[in-house]
């Protein structure tokens, strides 16, 4: 279970969020067998998307985010809802890259610098909201900052990080995200930007202090609201049946004739669902 602390600071002029997502990243490593650099890229994306999902108004609202660059990792997908049940996948989860000269994981090489972030929010309206923005650096934080500026016209700055231990598990992951409220003063914006610039190693800070400790270090005794996001897939047998029905009976009968059984694997949790001839007959 992760932690998300949200508050208004600097006289209510700046909205802040502090996220600890290490448990969620470790769950994704276990499910998808992520390489260290894949875990770093996915974890940063998951952190940004968890913050984004926390802005959904209703529990049944849904978020879909696609980060598609030209790097070794291919497409990164993260989905979530208003309950902060988050899940996702990576096209090439086991891809490895050499460390950068500074010893850091090469996230931008994994993601790629050419591509797009696409965001779709289903919020009970006739048409879902859709926004898109070109990748800036492939480092994720800068890319989502650009997305908020260009697609949602929301001044935003964020520091995101994932620290992977020698045993290939996540020992620290999370981020600090600040957004200017309408009519925020230049001095408040400058203070918020200064805080983000000081967080060059936010994952190590999260490992050492936790979300509450880091919040206190940065924002003192400001009151915050705590949320508990979790990596949780929402697939079930009935949901998969609905997808299969959309293929049509002839298509399913053809698969049964050739394979004897229809097997479907969920890309978000790896669970396998099997359907035989009797199941197909029942569907129709």
Q: Which CATH superfamily is domain 3-231 in?
A: Hsp33 domain (3.55.30.10)
pLDDT in the model for residue 192: 92
pLDDT in the model for residue 283: 84
Q: Which helix (H) or strand (E) holds 180?
A: strand 170-180
69 in Cβ contact with 138 (< 8 Å): yes
- Chain mean position to CA 30: 16
pLDDT in the model for residue 34: 96
pLDDT in the model for residue 239: 82
The pLDDT tens digits along the chain (284 residues) read: 899 999 999 999 999 999 999 999 999 999 999 999 999 999 999 999 999 999 998 888 999 999 999 999 999 999 999 999 999 999 999 999 999 998 899 999 999 999 999 999 987 777 788 999 999 999 999 999 999 999 988 999 999 999 999 999 999 999 999 999 998 899 999 999 999 999 989 999 999 999 999 999 999 999 999 999 999 998 888 888 888 888 888 888 888 888 889 998 888 988 899 998 888 888 88
Phi, psi of 180 (to 5 degrees): -80, 130
Query: How deeply is 213 buried, as exposed, middle or buried, from its count of CB atoms within 10 A (0-12, 13-18, 19+)?
Result: middle
* In the chain, domain spans: 3-231, 237-283
Beta bridge partner(s), residue 8: 15
Selection from 8, 18, 67, 65 nearest residue 229 by Cα: 18
3-231 and 237-283 share one fold? no
pLDDT in the model for residue 59: 86
DSSP 5-24: EEEEETTTTEEEEEEE-HHH
Cβ-proximal residues to 243 (8 Å cutoff; 6+ apart), any chain: 264
pLDDT in the model for residue 284: 85
Predicted structure pTM score: 0.90
Beta bridge partner(s), residue 80: 63
- What is the dotted CATH code of the domain comprising 237-283? 3.90.1280.10
Torsion angle, alpha carbons of 40, 45, 51, 53, to 10: -140
Integer angstrom CA distances of residue 170 from 29, 36, 52, 160: 8, 9, 22, 14
């Amino acid at each position: 279970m992760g932690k998300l602390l949200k508050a208004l600071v600097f006289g209510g002029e700046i909205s802040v969020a502090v996220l600890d997502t290490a448990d969620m990243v470790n769950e994704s490593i276990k499910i998808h067998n992520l390489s260290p650099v894949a875990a770093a890229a996915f974890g940063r994306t998951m952190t940004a998307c968890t913050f984004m999902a926390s802005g959904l108004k209703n529990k049944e609202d849904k978020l879909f985010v696609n980060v598609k660059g030209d790097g070794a990792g291919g497409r990164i997908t993260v989905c979530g809802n208003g309950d902060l049940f988050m899940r996702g996948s990576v096209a090439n989860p086991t891809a490895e890259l050499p460390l950068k000269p500074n010893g850091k994981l090469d996230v931008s090489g994994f993601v790629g610098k050419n591509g797009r972030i696409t965001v779709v929010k289903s919020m009970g309206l006739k048409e879902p909201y859709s926004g898109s923005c070109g990748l800036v650096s492939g480092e994720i934080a800068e890319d989502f900052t650009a997305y908020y500026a260009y697609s949602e016209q929301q001044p935003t700055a964020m520091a995101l990080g994932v620290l992977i231990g020698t045993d290939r598990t996540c020992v620290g992951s999370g981020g600090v995200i600040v957004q200017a409220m309408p009519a925020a003063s230049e001095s408040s914006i400058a203070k918020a930007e200064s805080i983000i610039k000081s967080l060059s190693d936010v994952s190590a800070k999260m490992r050492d202090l936790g979300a509450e400790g880091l919040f206190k270090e940065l924002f003192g005794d400001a009151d915050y609201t705590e949320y508990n996001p979790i990596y949780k897939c929402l697939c079930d047998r009935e949901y998969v049946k609905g997808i299969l029905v959309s293929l049509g009976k002839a298509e399913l009968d053809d698969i049964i004739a050739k394979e004897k059984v229809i097997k479907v694997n969920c890309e978000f949790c790896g669970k396998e669902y099997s359907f035989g001839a009797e199941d197909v007959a029942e569907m129709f």
